[in-house]
Structure 1
Amino acid sequence: MGLVCFKEGPQAEISVDPTEKIDQVEDNEEVISQLPSKNEEGEKISLSHFIMLRNLGKGTYGKVKLVQHTVTQKLYAMKVLIKKSVRTLKQKRHVQTERNVLEMTNHNFITKLHYAFQTQTKLYLIMDFVPGGELFYHLKLQGRMNEKKTKFYAAEILIGLDYLHKQNIIYRDLKPENILLDSEGHIKLCDFGLSKICSGSDMFARTCCGTIEYIAPEIVIGQVYSKSCDWWTYGALLYDMLTGKPPFYKLTKKQIFEYATQKDIEIPEYLSEEAKDLLKKLLNKTPHERLGGQRDAQEIYEHPFFKDVDFQKIERKEIAPPVEMQNERPFKFFDQNLIRKCSVNDTPVNDFGKFQDYSNFTYNGDKLSSEYGQLLISH
């Protein structure tokens, strides 16, 4: 088994056996471009281009703030990462992976990266502001979703996962906390720190990581695994949406290992036959026999649960979401303790920390559409 990184619940992380060797197959080479890190006016993108308005969230390495661009007046979510909090090579790799995945992707159901820049002590990611909050919040309010509502969001999430897989990205951390809802109620996948960017013939992974309630059996028992692990996690997410709790809810690691190797997950009888069949086939312990294990997302598109779904219209966002967002008060779906905090200023950090060199971190995705996907150098 390689590097082990489990998450238990929101923002919690457990590192297991730090003496174990890190798998070299997961070490993505850093590539530096020769493009200048400037905007259309010839200025370097920096903190001075944004006005901080509100706190939105807090994570392991920093905070998320609502900001406004001083020229365009557009609203963005600014993720602030404190370099000294990124203490290990593993943590630095997570930060760099998230930034690279955001820069690689461009899709309706994926959070978009607009800018990335850094100071001596902090890293800044300027992304879409997604005002509907986390799907986790909406599930907590409702307890569980009916099948009609679940089907809509399952379809959008499926399209987003399919897109990531076509970019040769294994997500590895699909869960309600990592699914945001936009101003109309459509989904945006976010938080790609645990993702694996595959390349060439390397389409497999060994690192044991993910959120413990949703993690695939092959990852738990330390096998080499593929994109199929995301379809187990997708099944666990649908189970959560349809029943009100994930399959491994409040189980110990020993119990989860037993379910991964011996026991079957019980599927409630009150679900429709199509829903029960979908969950059973997604939550198959054998990766190549799992729905999606042979032809990836296409197998799931064809399942009877989605027989009345027009995926093309869903992808074009032509079907109205089942959650009404228009009349909700601003910031209702965020942590009110953070929202109400008076200070939103960027607090100075005196200690530079261990890792200061993120030489390919800077990015300006709004400069020119023809330059989308390019890395910008920062000194």
Structure 2
Amino acid sequence: MGLVCFKEGPQAAIEDHSIKQRDHNYEDEEVISEFPQQDEDGKKVSLSQFIMLRNLGKGSYGKVMLVQHTVSLKLYAMKVLIKKAVKNLTQKTHVQTERKILEITNHNFITKLHYAFQSQTKLYLIMEFVSGGELFYHMKLKGRMTEKKMKFYAAEILIGLDYLHQQNIIYRDLKPENILLDSEGHIKLCDFGLSKICSWGDMYAKSICGTFEYIAPEIILGEIYTKSCDWWTYGALLYDMLTGKPPFYQLTKKQILEYAAGKDIEIPQHLSEEATDLLTKLFKRNPEERLGGQRDAQEIYEHPFFKDVDFQMMERKEIEPPFEMQNERPFKFFDQNLIRKSSVHDTPVSELGRYQEFSNFTYNGDKFSNEFNKLLITH
């Protein structure tokens, strides 16, 4: 799927940040914690306090590993970002944005950041380990969902997306690969590198960001847009869950532009009247006419498709998920080629990164952070 984020419009060069498409050659590095911090026992948090257990994923900037804290014995997911792979200011802003959003959010359906630190060549994010893997993997494994099953995940995702909007965050990259499932089967939204943190006087965005198969028309056309763009993407995700593929699946950029400019998305006839109406209203090309365009998530909560959903119980995770996770073997829902790799070391890098210091990157989630809302990143 085509992940894009560029500034000047459809003619500009595409930057592909797909987590499965790139790799780098890593060499030697001496790990130096430039901004040491303390854990709950008053000790400095550094790489040496984590035992690397398994590879979980890899991407354009680095990789993700399962690690265990040597003192608390807790398991975490450690995201390692290679500084020299963060080649320009836009990419650096993506990294800083994700780091900031992970700090300022606190919700059942958002991945939690526990620690962040850096060396001369790498950035480290220590996050909660979400053991159920990506929703994408489950969809690929089990095929399209029934409306009942889709409704459960649609409701949890709606609550998480609503929370982000309440924090003045435009997500911009909602898709199955960015939705994790925990050990019980509840969702966790992740990967906020393409998100925007809005200031109160600037609730608009203009960067062309997202994944082409899900992206809203106003973004494709290079127009200034609001958080209403997330509701189109939300509709595209629901469409994907119900049909097994997103609306713009395997289309060329030219064909996608045709849809953005005026061609309607065809809703499958086998869907219920309520589901058809929900998708039709989420796929309104005019962001102001789109469901969620005026009163944000409240309009979607009130749609007849969700009439039997208790959103308060849902937010408290009191409703049992439709995917049974408890009896599954460990790591079943991860890339087995990565899981089985024998090397789980934090591979060294010989050169200093181009950006040797990322200001305000260090973080300790187990202590009060006086950085809260100090750094506001907009783009």
* TM-score for the superposition, normalised by structure 2: 0.90
Q: Is the 8 A contact 2:36 2:45 kept in 1?
A: no
Aligned residue in 1 for 2:57: 57
Tell me the alpha carbon deviations over residues 313-353 of structure 1, each in whole angstroms, 9 at most, x when there is no partner.
Answer: 00000000000000000000000000000010111111112
Q: Is the 8 A contact 1:173 1:195 kept in 2?
A: yes
- Residue 38 of structure 1 deviates from its aligned partner by 2.4
Count of aligned pairs: 355
Q: Is the 8 A contact 1:6 1:209 kept in 2?
A: no
CA RMSD, aligned part only? 2.0
Aligned residue in 1 for 2:114: 114
Aligned residue in 2 for 1:143: 143
- Residue 43 of structure 1 deviates from its aligned partner by 2.6
Aligned residue in 1 for 2:267: 267
Q: Which amino acid aligns with 1:81?
A: L
Q: Is the 8 A contact 1:360 1:375 kept in 2?
A: no
Q: Does 1:191 align with 2:191?
A: yes
Q: Which structure 2 residues correspond to residues 322-361 of structure 1 after superposition, within 5 A?
A: 322-361=322-361
Name stretches of at least 5 consecutive residues in structure 1 with no aligned partner: 15-34
Tell me the alpha carbon deviations over residues 217-266 of structure 1, each in whole angstroms, 9 at most, x when there is no partner.
Answer: 00000110000000000000000000110000001111001001111000
Change over 3 Å in CA distance of 1:337–1:183 after alignment to 2: same
Q: Does 1:11 align with 2:19?
A: yes
What SS does the corresponding residue of 1:67 show, helix, strand or coil? strand
Between the aligned partners of 1:52 and 1:164, the Cα distance in structure 2 is 31
- Residue 10 of structure 1 deviates from its aligned partner by 4.2
Change over 3 Å in CA distance of 1:140–1:320 after alignment to 2: same
Between the aligned partners of 1:282 and 1:134, the Cα distance in structure 2 is 24
Q: Is the 8 A contact 2:40 2:366 kept in 1?
A: no
What SS does the corresponding residue of 2:51 show, helix, strand or coil? strand
Aligned residue in 1 for 2:236: 236
Aligned residue in 1 for 2:28: none
Q: Which amino acid aligns with 2:19?
A: Q
Aligned residue in 2 for 1:26: none
Instruction: List structure 1 runs of 4+ shifted beyond 6 angstroms.
Output: none
Aligned residue in 2 for 1:2: 7
Q: Which amino acid aligns with 2:88?
A: T
What SS does the corresponding residue of 1:329 show, helix, strand or coil? coil
Q: Is the 8 A contact 1:6 1:210 kept in 2?
A: no
- Residue 354 of structure 1 deviates from its aligned partner by 1.1
Q: Which amino acid aligns with 2:349?
A: V
What SS does the corresponding residue of 1:52 show, helix, strand or coil? strand
Aligned residue in 2 for 1:77: 77
Between the aligned partners of 1:305 and 1:8, the Cα distance in structure 2 is 36
- Residue 49 of structure 1 deviates from its aligned partner by 1.3
Between the aligned partners of 2:214 and 2:21, the Cα distance in structure 1 is 14
Q: Is the 8 A contact 1:174 1:234 kept in 2?
A: yes
Name stretches of at least 5 consecutive residues in structure 2 with no aligned partner: 1-5, 23-34
What SS does the corresponding residue of 1:274 show, helix, strand or coil? helix
Change over 3 Å in CA distance of 1:12–1:220 after alignment to 2: farther
Between the aligned partners of 1:240 and 1:161, the Cα distance in structure 2 is 17
Aligned residue in 2 for 1:176: 176
Aligned residue in 2 for 1:300: 300
Change over 3 Å in CA distance of 1:9–1:154 after alignment to 2: farther
Q: Is the 8 A contact 2:360 2:371 kept in 1?
A: no
Between the aligned partners of 2:17 and 2:62, the Cα distance in structure 1 is 17
Between the aligned partners of 2:150 and 2:76, the Cα distance in structure 1 is 28
Tell me the alpha carbon deviations over residues 195-219 of structure 1, each in whole angstroms, 9 at most, x when there is no partner.
Answer: 0000021000000110010000000
Change over 3 Å in CA distance of 1:9–1:262 after alignment to 2: farther
- Residue 85 of structure 1 deviates from its aligned partner by 0.6
Change over 3 Å in CA distance of 1:8–1:242 after alignment to 2: farther
Aligned residue in 2 for 1:42: 42
What SS does the corresponding residue of 2:291 show, helix, strand or coil? coil
What SS does the corresponding residue of 1:140 show, helix, strand or coil? helix
Between the aligned partners of 1:7 and 1:112, the Cα distance in structure 2 is 27
Between the aligned partners of 1:12 and 1:141, the Cα distance in structure 2 is 18
Change over 3 Å in CA distance of 1:80–1:100 after alignment to 2: same
- Residue 44 of structure 1 deviates from its aligned partner by 2.2
What SS does the corresponding residue of 1:321 show, helix, strand or coil? coil
Aligned residue in 1 for 2:134: 134
Between the aligned partners of 2:21 and 2:296, the Cα distance in structure 1 is 29
Identity within the alignment, %:
76
Q: Which amino acid aligns with 1:130?
A: V
